[in-house]
Structure 1
Amino acid sequence: MNKNKKQLKKNKKRHLSVFLAVIGIIFIIAYPCYYFLNVQGFINKSYFSTGLTSEKNANKIIENKKPISILILGTDIGTGEGFGANRNRVGLTDSLMLAIINPKKKTTTLISVPRDIMTSIVGFENSFPQKLNAAYAFKEASDNKTSLGEGVGTTMQTIEKMFNIPIDYFAMVNMSGLGDVVNQIGGVSVKSPLTFLFSQDTAHDYGKNLYRFNQGSTTFQYAADGINFKTYQKMNGVAALAFSRMRYQDPKGDYGRTERQRLLLEQIVKKVKQKPSLVFNLKFINSSTKNVATDLKTDNLISLANNYISATKNIKSYTVQGEPEIYNGVSYQRVTTAQRQAVTNEVRKDLNLKKEKTGSEFGSGISQTELYQVGTADFLYPDDDTENNSKLN
């Protein structure tokens, strides 16, 4: 009897061990599936196709681990339940940046494109002249059935024609959501290229919620009442937005603002690279995907994470150079052939493509009468259309 009891206990223990082992195996298999399905669900909410042929071809580029180009657009358009969840998204894309990622050379090139470039928007040539940042809004406002991706596709096509370069994908970021990203990764330290004050309340150098950033330093001050400052070493999300949004006090104008946005983005990438676990979790992915729209699918993003992360080892930053002009009371940027060629050369080199002549100044066709009225940037700014301007700075 005792022997039978002992055997029964052994069998129970064995069964319990087997049971726990089975549960463990199920968990090992099920959790990644659960994780992947949740991640896929979050990312799918952010997916919007441009409908462009180039988008289909780009999938093969990632599969073959070749260099890719991504247009990054920043906007303050309300997201509601996420980009594209409602029609409250017709607005301007106030930040435009090209990212060229080359895994073989282990380089990432960021090129800021001024939002005020005078252009002729693809499909809306009769509205000429327009600013480049209006391309998305024109397409979005033209038809209430237009998808967010199709709106961005119009911007992509206009830039492609202007510089004679291919753009494979896009990522549209809600700038307010960028602050959430900074908070999720525990803040960032960014060295300011100039000293300035900026109030979140007034968008000027006075008012409550006032920040003071200092040239050549990551240290900054903040005063909730606009008077009594406290010193900080690391930016949270709100501070990062203040740093990247200021425009009016910068002697470089919009060029200065895009420079600060690039500096912020570089530090975000650097921190994520040092500790990937900051972003590879459901909380972060759920939070960030509400503020991002892209035509990159889940498998594309996984491939990028696995095969392109080494490209963040060396980050280069440039800005498309141009000249300010007031035309009919509106402020524009004009870009000469040499200045556009500098962009074309850099992008095509980083994409391992052969050299080509740059595109047309206005991106899309305009009439001779319109050309006569606005003139060409080459004619208006001959000093900028020289060999000295054929390289990016």
Structure 2
Amino acid sequence: MLKRSEYKKKKGLKKRWVIIPVVVVLTLLLGTGVYGYSLLSKAKDTVNTKMHEPIESIDLTKTKKKVKASEPLNVLLLGVDARGADKGRSDALMVLSLDPQNDAMQIVSIPRDTRTMIAGKGFQDKINHAYAFGGADMSVATVEDFLDIDLDYYVRLNMEGLQELVDEIGPITVQNNIAWKDGKYDFPKGDVTMDGAKTMSYVRMRKQDPAGDFGRTERQRNVIEAIVDTGATAGSVTKIHNMIDILGNNMSTNMDFDDMKKMFSGYKNTRKHMNSYMMQGQGTKIDGIYYMNVADDEIAKVHDMLKR
């Protein structure tokens, strides 16, 4: 296994993925929990041939033992919104912790501007730059070092895939905390029901939010929870066929189909108690570049959350 401290950048063209790292696996497995026999072959082929992408920085042998024993798992959710001049940095990162003993799920958001040591590079930079330097492999290694935790899986999803997914299972409804308009859509305070295109505007807005990137990350978590809840309804079961196609074209993960089946068996109830947290920090500029400095006690607090 590639050790975090010994990480070396892998060669080759990196795919460009989105940042709303939706809990896609939960939508299919932990949410619906139903696979008709006619879908088994299609789902297995799609996962193993189109979505499965192992990385060196995660020891799957160790992870599989944890899944078999239904031990707590940590999953890195990430991706890239590849619009315009975006070179492939992950727009945000989240760590999803699944605790089957307590039927609980914790989502921790890491601000994309967080300043930390980039694994294998020997210098500090924004944590979201790790993806640009070395894809999911370097992102995993960097987050593991930053929080002093082990990550068991990663999931990344293309932005267009998120929009297609919402349109397939949706519409979704979120509790919106601030009112704004973007010229095309109206987002009043309170419950807002959205299709895929409106969801994209909802999660991308930042300048009109007094909380800036923190507010946008909160909306990302709102969307994740709404997709999980909507995907768990009985009416979504009949849509699994199309969902598999959408995920196969837009999602990448180091889980294989057997991993997913075992996760459903041992982790399906973790969605009963879902909590979310945004890491806190202090904004600063270094050589004219904005960074988020996260204090050691905040890092220790999040480390304990995920280890607990």
Counterpart secondary structure, 1:76: coil
Residue 49 (structure 1) aligned with residue 54 (structure 2) = yes
- 2:185 & 2:60 partners in 1: Cα distance? 41
1:111 maps to which of 108, 111, 129:
108
TM-score (norm 1): 0.65
Aligned to 2:81: 76
Aligned pairs for 1:127-146 within 5 A = 128-139=123-134
Matched with 1:337 is 296
Instruction: Render the CA deviation track for 1:276-300: whole Å, top value 9, x for unaligned.
Output: 7437622210112211110011011
Pair member with larger Rg: 1
1:159-308 counterparts in 2 under 5 A? 159-198=143-182, 206=183, 210-215=184-189, 217-219=190-192, 234-275=193-234, 277-278=236-237, 281-308=240-267
1:118 deviates by 1.0
**Post-superposition CA distance 1:70-101 (Å, at most 9, x none):** 000032238xxxxxxxxxx9611002111001
Contact 2:103 2:269 in 1 (8 A): yes
Q: Distance in 2 between matches of 1:194 and 1:279?
A: 35
Q: Which position in structure 2 is the counterpart of 1:362? A: none
> 2:51 is aligned with what amino acid?
S
Contact 2:169–2:236 (8 Å) recurs in 1: no
User: Where do 5+ consecutive residues of structure 1 fail to align?
Assistant: 1-30, 79-88, 140-150, 199-205, 220-233, 350-393
- Which residue of the partner structure matches residue 84 of structure 1? none
Distance 1:43 1:77, change over 3 A: farther
> How many angstroms does 1:109 deviate by?
0.3
Deviations 1:194-214 (Å, cap 9, x if unpaired)?
11222xxxxxxx4xxx11212
Deviations 1:215-246 (A, max 9, x none): 2x114xxxxxxxxxxxxxx2100111111111
Q: Give the conservation status (yes or no) of the 8 Å contact 1:67–1:100.
A: yes
Which structure has the higher relative contact order (CA within 8 Å, separation 6+)? 2
Residues 346 and 288 of structure 1: CA distance in aligned 2, closer, same or farther (over 3 Å): same
Percent of aligned pairs with the same residue? 29
CA contact (8 A) 2:58 2:153 kept: no
Corresponding residue of 1:93: 90
Paired positions, count: 270
Tell me the residue number matched to 1:16.
Answer: none
Q: Which amino acid aligns with 1:337?
A: D
Contact persistence 2:58–2:152 (CA under 8 A): no
Gap change, CA 1:305 and 1:277, over 3 Å in 2: farther
Distance in 2, matches of 1:159 and 1:113, equals 9
TM-score by length of 2: 0.83
Extract unaligned runs of 5+ from structure 2: 1-35
How far apart are the structure 1 equivalents of 2:234 and 2:66? 27
Distance of aligned partners of 1:103 and 1:280 in 2 relative to their CA distance in 1, 3 Å threshold: farther
- Residues in 2 aligned to 1:309 and 1:252: alpha-carbon distance in whole angstroms: 34
Deviation at 1:53, TM superposition (A): 4.7
Letter matched to residue 153 of structure 1: D
CA distance in 2, matches of 1:307, 1:276: 24
1:55 is displaced (CA, Å) by: 2.8
Q: What is the alpha-carbon distance in structure 1 between the residues aligned to residue 239 and residue 87 of structure 2?
A: 31
1:37 and 2:21 aligned: no
Question: Which letter does structure 2 place at the counterpart of 1:180?
Answer: E
Q: State the AA in 2 paired with 1:160.
A: E
Structure 2 Cα separation of the partners of residues 245 and 70 of structure 1: 23
User: Which residue does 1:202 correspond to in 2?
Assistant: none
